[in-house]
Amino acid sequence: MYRDPEAASPGAPTRDVLLVSAIITVSLSVTVVLCGLCHWCQRKLGKRYKNSLETVGTPDSGRGRSEKKAIRLPTGGKAVNTAPVPGQTPHDESDRRTEPHSSVSDLVNSLTSEMLMLSPGSEEDEVHEGCSRENLGRIQFSVGYNFQESTLTVKIMKAQELPAKDFSGTSDPFVKIYLLPDKKHKLETKVKRKNLNPHWNETFLFEGFPYEKVVQRVLYLQVLDYDRFSRNDPIGEVSIPLNKVDLTQMQTFWKDLKPCSDGSGSRGELLLSLCYNPSANSIIVNIIKARNLKAMDIGGTSDPYVKVWLMYKDKRVEKKKTVTMKRNLNPIFNESFAFDIPTEKLRETTIIITVMDKDKLSRNDVIGKIYLSWKSGPGEVKHWKDMIARPRQPVAQWHQLKA
C-alpha cells in the first residue's frame, strides 16, 4: 500500500508547526541578543557621558582648566572653538555632551584672545616700552648752607650721557638754577660746546638767605641745549626739596634727568621705520603714524605733517615731507621716502624728523623733533644700529617727540 511521504503520521508534528517554532525560537534569540547589546551600550554611553561631565565640571572648574590651557598656548596660536556650527543639527546624545563644553570653549577663546593681546613680545609694545624708558642722562651737584654767612651754596659738577639735540649728533648743554617758587631770579652755568658728558665745576652762592626761608624752597636744575638761532631746547630737569636735605654740610647727589615739565615731555609719539639697502646705498624712511600729539591750535587740535631732513656734517642735503592731516592728533601717514646715502658717509649722517602743525595765517609751529644717527639719544641710536644690523628689512620703532 502506497503511503504519501508528505502525509503526516499520527502524533508527528507537521511542517508548518516546525517552521513556526523555528521562527519563534530565532525571534526570541535575536531579542535576547539585542537586549544584551542595548544594556551594554547604555552602560558604556552612561560611563562616557559621566566622564564628559566630570571633564567639564562646573563653570568655575571649567574656567580654571581653560586658563591653564590658554597660558600654554604659544604666541600667535589660537584656541579651537568646539561650539556647534550654525545650521548643523547634532544628535541628541552629542548635543547633551557639547552644550556644556561649548560655553567653556567660548570662555577659552575669550581668555586666549585677551592673553594674546596682552602677551609680551609684540613689536609695538616693545617699541613703546623702549621709548618710555629712554635715558635723558644724569647730573651731579652738591648743596650746603653756611649758617654764619646765611648763604646757600650750590655746586654744579658734571653731567653724563646727555641726549643729542643738534644736527651734528651732539649738544651744547648748560644748566639753569632756581629756588622755587621764585622763577624771576636764576643763575646759569657756562655753555659746554659739543659735549654730551660736560664738566662744569661751577659754584653758585645765594647770599643773605635766612635758613628758615631756605628750607621752604625747592632746588630746581634745568639742563638745556644752547641754540644760537632759535629757542634753547630743554634736555631734562631735577628738583629736590631743601627741607629733605641735611644742609649742615655739603651733600653731593647724582640724579637722573626727567622730562621737563614745561610741556616738552608731552608732545606725542611718532612711529616710523628705517630700511637700509647697502647694495643700493639708500635708506627708506617710512612715516607710519603718530599718537597723542600736542594740540597747537586754539580749537584744541592740530593739522600735523612731517618733514624729513637728510643732514651730512651739519649741512642740509635733502628735504621731503608728508601730506597734512587736518584736525588730527592721532594721524596715520604711511608715506615712504628714499634717500641716497653711501655707506662711507653713514657715520656723519643724521636724519631729522620734525612733526609740524600747519597754520594758514601764521608761521607753522613745531610740535616735536627726532634726531636719528650714530650719536643721538639711546632710543634713536638703538633704532639706527638695528637698521644697520638688519639690512633690507624695515625696522619700526616708536619715538618720543622732543622740543
Strand partners, 253: 141
Report CA dihedral (243, 248, 254, 258) to the nearest 10 degrees: 20
Residue tagged 608731552 (cell numbers): 266
Rounded mean pLDDT, 321-326 = 95
User: What's the pTM value of the predicted model, to 2 decimals?
Assistant: 0.43
pLDDT for 330 equals 95
The whole-number average pLDDT for the span 88-95 is: 39
Mean pLDDT score across all residues of the chain: 75
The per-residue pLDDT for 314 is 77
User: Model confidence over 389-403: pLDDT tens digits?
Assistant: 999 999 999 998 987
Residues 134 and 377 sit within 8 Å (Cβ to Cβ): yes
3-state DSSP call for residue 186? strand
- 111 contacts 137 by C-beta, under 8 angstroms: no
The residue ranking higher by pLDDT, 96 or 260, is 260
Q: What is the pLDDT of residue 326?
A: 93
Alpha carbons 384 and 355: distance in angstroms, whole number = 19
- Nearest by Cα to 366 from 292, 290, 293, 287: 293
pLDDT of residue 33: 66
Sheet containing strand 269-277, strands side by side: 332-340, 282-291, 269-277, 395-400
DSSP string, 287-336: EEEEESPPP-STTS---EEEEEEEEETTEEEEEEE----TT-SS-EEEEE
pLDDT attached to residue 56: 36
CA distances from 259 to 179, 222, 239, 273, 282 (A): 19, 10, 12, 24, 34
Report whether pLDDT(29) > 80.
no
* CA distance linking residue 23 with residue 317, whole number of Å: 106
At 175-191, the pLDDT tens digits run 999 998 887 788 999 99
Percent above pLDDT 70 for the chain? 68
Say whether pLDDT at 261 is over 70.
no
Question: What is residue 51's predicted lDDT score, i.e. its pLDDT?
Answer: 41
The tens digit of pLDDT for each residue in 199-230 reads 999 999 999 889 999 999 999 999 999 877 66
Q: What is the pLDDT of residue 307?
A: 96
C-alpha cell at 96: 547633551
**What DSSP element (H or E) covers 13?**
none
Q: Looking at this protein, which amino acid is placed at residue 49?
A: Y
Closest CA to 177 of 158, 155, 194: 155
Report, as an integer, the average pLDDT of 13-31: 72
User: What amino acid occupies position 37?
Assistant: L
Query: Does the structure show a pLDDT above 60 at 86?
Result: no
Which pLDDT does position 389 carry in this prediction? 93
Q: In Å, what is the CA distance from 228 to each residue of 50, 166, 191, 263, 274? A: 83, 11, 11, 22, 31
pLDDT band at residue 304, thresholds of 50, 70 and 90? very high
Most confident of 13-22, 48-57, 81-90, 226-235: 226-235
From 95-99, 191-195, 292-296, the region with the lowest mean pLDDT: 95-99
Q: State the average pLDDT over residues 236-253.
A: 93
Angle between helix 15-56 and helix 92-118 axes, rounded to 10 deg:
20
Of residues 317 and 89, which shows the higher confidence score?
A: 317
What tens digit of pLDDT does each residue of 141-164 get? 999 999 999 999 999 999 999 988
- Cα separation, 42 vs 26, in Å, equals 24
- Exposure string over 158-191, b if 16+ CB within 10 A, otherwise e: ebeebbbbbbbbbbbbbbbbbbeeeeeeeeebeb
Is pLDDT of 374 > 80? Answer: yes
pLDDT band at 128 (very low <50, low <70, confident <90, very high): very low
The answer to whether residues 310 and 319 touch, using CB atoms and an 8 Å cutoff, is yes
Q: b/e for 340-365, b at 16 or more Cβ within 10 A? A: ebeeeebebbbbbbbbbbbeeeeebb
Give, in order, the Cα–Cα distances in Å from 128 to each of 54, 229, 234.
45, 33, 22
Amino acid letter, 353: I
- The segment with the largest mean pLDDT, out of 65-74, 90-99, 359-368, is 359-368
